[in-house]
């Protein structure tokens, strides 16, 4: 997840999602993921206080600042590059399962009243962003790092 002043996803010459100030969230779904993982990730994205308050302290959430969220599916987050020189994606969820959980994350965020834009599942996408800070936060519902 990256705090951004703007972000945009295109597929070919078509823009699929674009936001102003808020969060760019890359979502990777592993084989072991399910509804509790969706809830964990959506609540962290929505409630994590990583935006500045009037004292320049990270004390506001995307909800507090009425920011926007761009959610992009990215199966390569499941890549394991510990052995050899080519990553293994064996832990990535099958596409039909990953799509459902990805869409559940989007719905959970939208239910909070946030404006949520998306990329296009399983498409080759170009992502352009202006990282604010830069601030990049790793979230893992399994807390493996």
Place of tokens 């997840």: 1
21 is annotated as an active-site residue: no
The reply to whether 110 belongs to the active site is no
Instruction: Compute the distance between CA of residue 81 and CA of residue 134 in angstroms, rounded to an integer.
Output: 25
DSSP string, 43-88: HHHHH---EE-TTS-EEE-TTTTT-EEEEEE-GGGG-B-SSSSS-B
Catalytic residue among 2, 51, 75, 118: 75
- Rounded-to-10 torsion of CA 87, 92, 39, 118: 80
Q: Which of 10, 16, 39, 74 is catalytic?
A: 74
Whether residue 76 lies in the annotated active site = yes
Which of 76, 126, 130, 136 is the catalytic position? 76
- Three-state DSSP at 30 gives strand
Q: Which residues are catalytic?
A: 74-76
């Amino acid at each position: 997840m990256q705090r951004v002043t703007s972000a945009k996803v295109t597929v070919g010459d078509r823009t699929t999602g674009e936001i102003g100030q808020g969060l760019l969230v890359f979502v990777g779904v592993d084989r072991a993921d399910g509804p509790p993982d969706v809830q964990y990730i959506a609540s962290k994205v929505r409630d994590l206080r990583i935006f500045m308050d009037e004292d320049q302290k990270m004390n506001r959430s995307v909800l507090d600042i009425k920011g926007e969220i761009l959610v992009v599916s990215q199966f390569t987050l499941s890549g394991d590059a510990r052995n050899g020189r080519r990553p293994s994606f064996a832990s990535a969820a099958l596409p039909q399962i990953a799509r459902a959980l990805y869409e559940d994350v989007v719905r959970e965020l939208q239910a909070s009243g946030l404006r949520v834009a998306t990329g296009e599942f399983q498409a080759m996408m170009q992502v352009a962003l202006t990282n604010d800070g830069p601030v990049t936060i790793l979230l893992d519902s399994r807390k493996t790092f």
